[in-house]
Structures are given as C-alpha cells and as structure tokens.
Structure 1
Amino acid sequence: MNSEKEQRHFAVCIKNDGYSASLEVGKLYQVVPDAAADAQGYIRIIDESGDDYGYSKDRFFPIDIPIALQEALAG
C-alpha cells in the first residue's frame, strides 16, 4: 500500500438466506463505503462475484482489522 494508509472496512457474513451463491456464512468480506446505502439499512460489500452489491445490514457483523493485517490480506 502507499504511504497514505487507508483504513478498509470488513464484515463477516452471518446470514445468507436467498443468497447462497453470493454470500458464504462465516466469510470475511470487504465493505465498500456507501453513505446512501447505509442510510437505507444496507451495506455494500464485494461478494463472491467479485463485484460490489448492497445487502441488508442484518446479514453482516462488522469487524475492525488492524492495518498490518489488511496489508497482508491485500497481498
């Protein structure tokens, strides 16, 4: 990553009813900041398709990950 370390946000899927092809329960997903989605009760994540989509917030548990681990996950 560059010298301006940007905090990324992550969430763990806790419910995938109706979205079993797109979401895996227990899997860590990167959150894409989206104020409009947040205001309507949604969270935008990069799902199994590799694209970002909005899902109901109740499907996820947000977690904080240290920058060093974020860098390691980014490869």
Structure 2
Amino acid sequence: MDLDIRRAVLHNLHGNKKNELQETIVDAIHNGEEKMLPGLGVLMEVIWNKSDPAFRDQMLTRLEQGV
C-alpha cells in the first residue's frame, strides 16, 4: 500500500484553528504513541518551510539544547 503521510496529515488538519492545532500537538506528545510521530514530523516540516532563517536558527538551538 502506498500511503502519502504528508498529504493525509495536511488533509486531516486543513482548516484547523490555532487552538485545534495546539490540542492535536499536545495530545500527540502526551499520548506518547509511536504512530503519532510521522504526523508531528509533517507539522515540523510545515513550520520549517514557513520560517525565516532567524526562526530556524532558534528552533535548531532549542533542539540542540533538548537532545
């Protein structure tokens, strides 16, 4: 089966407001289920692609501190 995870995640979240997106992210993190990781990765990709270099640097600094 060929599953396009990016497209599925973006389709499922299309039109969500900030509070709904936050609930999705918090739920995925607190739930701790491995199956949620690809969806969080897609959201990370969206943030990265929509960010300027300064914000990307901030994200990388926080990631470096967290890992």
Instruction: Identify the structure with the greater helix proportion.
Output: 2
Class of the TM-score when normalised by the shorter of the 2 chains: under 0.3
Greater C-alpha radius of gyration: 2
Instruction: Identify the structure with the greater strand proportion.
Output: 1
TM-score normalized by structure 1?
0.24
